[in-house]
Amino acid sequence: MSSASPDSAAREVQFADRLERVLRRGFRPVDVASLIAFRISFGVITCWWALDYVIRGRLQIAYIDPRFHFTYYGFDWVHPLPDTGMYLLFLGLAASGVAIATGFLYRWATLLFALGFTYVFLLDRTNYQNHYYLIVLISWLLVLQPLNCNFSLDASLGLKKQSLTLPIWMLWLTRFHIALPYVFGGIAKLEVDWFAGAPLRQILAARSGWPVIGTWLVDENVVQAFIWGGLLLDLLVVPALIWRRTRVLAFLACVVFHVLNSQLFSIHIFPWFMIAATTLFFEPEWPRRFLRRTQAPGSLHAAVAVPQKLSFRMRVFGLLLATYCLFHCVWPLRHHLYPGPTSWTERGHFFAWRMMLRGKTVGIRYYLTDTVTGKTQIVDPRFVLSPLQVSIFARDPEMILHLAHFFRDEYRRQFGHEARVRALVLTSLNGRKPQLQIDPSVDLAKEPRGFHRRPWIVPLTEPLPEVPWNVPMGEWERHVNISPLLERTQPSDL
């Protein structure tokens, strides 16, 4: 058996030395000021989010009114609390936001907020937002970061030892999370529909009646500016924020971009959250400079000492951190494992930072056929869903399947018989002529949920039209043969 060559051994030693230097740089101390500013803005914005849900009735509509919730696969055990419990939960989230902002009982506040927000996030897929997913990730990140070490009630009360610095990996890991929506949001836009202006053109056209700027929004030059501006900003803004010479210009572009989004689209706290978070790309001490507060020279390096040789635990932590970041770079691309356009099949759409890419108009009808009597009934989803759920669920075949399983189980519970569950789903994607989205002959009651491929999703065949299709739903059925489904039907209030 031959031993490794001297050159190979030397390369291994060289690689180990380089890895050691990278890991040591990750534990280098950095001014904590920008992370403290982010902690404060995070607490204020999430408190605002929780109170807004309560005051405007969004909590009632999203989590209390529906009889059925579209849970994520593997999380069917997550159910809403009783009505009073949900209100107390949101008030608790608001209180946690205040505690995070002020740095009071910070460890408990961050842990309780992360648990509570993640629980709310998992309750219903129809309420999925990319920025909610981002807040889930960052809320758990805050649990790991002692951001109450300065400018906090904990530090003032002596509950936490004050420090001007933290390891630089904490800053870069937070920056990494903020970069994800920008980078992958840009990558996702590299497809035909986006360059054709769909659905952006339809969204802007819907606002053409606005005073002063309405006619301006449908001007083709403006539409093209939105198409290319949105794409280039997403793809280039992170490198531009990292490079000092372009940082201020890139930040100003972000501010303009997010303010416009806040006015044109219904995306709640996302624009303001991203503006606050993007400040993390400035020099770490920027809040001190802004407030004209100084510190003793050399105090940064005196506060935290980097060991000359990293411990085994620090090396393992560095490996886990690299694995975590690699996962978040690969996971948004999983849609390539499924056939068909993601905007049509929805496979891999969630947790992938795919924003403003699809507009769907959907008509859906469920048919339940008793396997004993052969009798077929039409079931109206509006009996169990809220208007918000009805407006969202039918664009996703996985949620269509989930509701079909609910109808199957309810039918068995009420009548003691099994039932076939089929669905007629006519969908218009980004202004296309409507077509069948799923095979209406498939018994959805027998199809499994999960990450499987869906052969019963009908391939998208309709091309993008020059003029968006605009025909009332009642006329769409003229384009599809639904006679096999129209057996002896009668409405049901299942």
pLDDT score recorded for residue 217 = 87
Distance of CA 14 to the CA centre of its chain: 40
pLDDT score recorded for residue 14 = 66
Reply yes or no on whether the pLDDT at 486 is more than 80: no
Neighbours of 89 (CB within 10 A): 19
pLDDT score recorded for residue 231 = 96
Reply yes or no on whether the pLDDT at 324 is more than 90: yes
Task: Indicate the residue type of 358.
Answer: R
Domain segments of the chain as ranges: 23-334, 359-492
pLDDT score recorded for residue 293 = 65
Reply yes or no on whether the pLDDT at 339 is more than 70: yes
3-state secondary structure of 458: coil
Is the Cβ–Cβ distance between 167 and 336 less than 8 Å? no
pLDDT score recorded for residue 491 = 43
* Nearest CA among 75, 148, 72 for reference residue 110: 148
Is the Cβ–Cβ distance between 238 and 298 less than 8 Å? no
pLDDT score recorded for residue 15 = 62
Neighbours of 290 (CB within 10 A): 12
Exposed/middle/buried for residue 52 (C-beta within 10 Å: 0-12, 13-18, 19+): middle
Please list the residues that pair with 376 across neighbouring strands.
369
pLDDT, one tens digit per residue, over 205-216 is 888 888 877 888
pLDDT, one tens digit per residue, over 342-386 is 999 999 999 999 999 999 999 999 999 999 999 999 999 999 999
Reply yes or no on whether the pLDDT at 296 is more than 80: no
In the chain, count of helices (H) and strands (E)?
21, 7
Is the Cβ–Cβ distance between 355 and 343 less than 8 Å? no
Helix residue spans in 279-396 (DSSP H): 286-290, 299-303, 312-330, 342-345, 387-393
Is the Cβ–Cβ distance between 123 and 63 less than 8 Å? yes
Average pLDDT, the chain: 89
* Nearest CA among 300, 185, 160 for reference residue 238: 185
pLDDT, one tens digit per residue, over 48-69 is 999 999 999 999 999 999 999 9
Model's pTM, two decimal places? 0.91
* Nearest CA among 435, 344, 453 for reference residue 396: 344
pLDDT, one tens digit per residue, over 87-137 is 999 999 999 999 999 999 999 999 999 999 999 999 999 999 999 999 999
- Give Cα separations from 64 to 112, 138, 380, 423 (angstroms): 22, 27, 20, 26
Lowest mean pLDDT across 152-161, 193-202, 367-376, 389-398 = 193-202
Reply yes or no on whether the pLDDT at 481 is more than 60: no
